[in-house]
Amino acid sequence: MFQTVAILAFLLTFIGIAVHWFLTSAAGARCPLVGGVHVFSLLLIEQRASLLGALKKLCYLVAAVCFLVLAITGFWPTLVRGEHISGFLMYIHATFAPIFALCLAILALTWAGSNRFVAADCPWLQRLLRRVTHLRIPADNRPWRCSLVVYKLAFWAILFLSLPLILSIVVSMFHLLGTDWQHLTLALHRWTSLVFAIAVIVHTYLAIRLRMTSAI
């Protein structure tokens, strides 16, 4: 069942991204090649030349690479071969996992502040709350920046999901859980990783799009 659900989920995600890409306008060229070079330069060349900024970007890149490796080594045997991860794929997966965890922790510390939800993110919510609760909530009529909200939501989803993702494996390494619970934590890791991967894909896509529109 996981194989089927995962394949469908990834397909839907990529189709959604493709639809969003073509339907929404974005600054910059639509040509994939030129767009790709643009994205590449955005990712590799720090726009603000400070040490912290460079380190943050480096951390992001390392996390991205780790995620790619983890996603491929984790999903390839399951989705393509229909079997559990094992052998060298598992060794690679287990090698990149702690690095990824570390990068996530650093990104959490460094990016959380800029990903706080502010009132301007969702004016329609402010207006709704004001109407419903009659509280004196400041509201304005600025247009809603959906992509930014989803981007931030994706960020917090990533952080939130990273906890069960990491802990489901770490806890199984201690003499705490019996076989039934081990099955459960493995299933938790599997399903969490699916949702996590989708959140990362969405977050990465939106990061690129928002960068291209200079929204972030």
Binding site for another protein (CB under 8 A): 84, 86-88, 91, 94-95, 97-98, 101-102, 104-105, 108-109, 112, 116-117, 135-137, 156, 159-160, 162-163, 166-167, 169-170, 172-179, 182-183, 186
Q: Give the nearer residue to another protein in terms of CB position, either 162 or 204.
A: 162
Structure tokens at 2: 């996981």
- Smallest distance, another protein to C-beta of residue 121, A: 12
Element (H, E) at 103: helix 87-111
The amino acid occupying position 215 is A
List, as own/partner pairs, every contact residues 203-206 make where C-beta atoms lie below 8 angstroms and the sequence separation is at least 24, other chains included.
203/151, 203/154, 203/155, 203/158, 204/64, 205/17, 205/20, 206/147, 206/148, 206/150, 206/151, 206/154
Structure tokens at 212: 């291209």
- Smallest distance, another protein to C-beta of residue 70, A: 13
Q: Give the nearer residue to another protein in terms of CB position, either 25 or 133.
A: 133
- Smallest distance, another protein to C-beta of residue 137, A: 6
Q: Give the nearer residue to another protein in terms of CB position, either 148 or 208.
A: 148
Contacts of residue 214, defined as CB under 8 A and 6 or more positions apart, other chains included, come to 27
- Smallest distance, another protein to C-beta of residue 61, A: 18
- Smallest distance, another protein to C-beta of residue 187, A: 10
SS (H, E, C) 128-197: HHHHHHCCCCCCCCCCCCHHHHHHHHHHHHHHHHHHHHHHHHHHHHCCCCCHHHHHHHHHHHHHHHHHHH
- Smallest distance, another protein to C-beta of residue 143, A: 23
Q: Give the nearer residue to another protein in terms of CB position, either 65 or 186.
A: 186
Structure tokens at 99: 């690095």
Q: Give the nearer residue to another protein in terms of CB position, either 42 or 89.
A: 89
Q: Give the nearer residue to another protein in terms of CB position, either 30 or 183.
A: 183
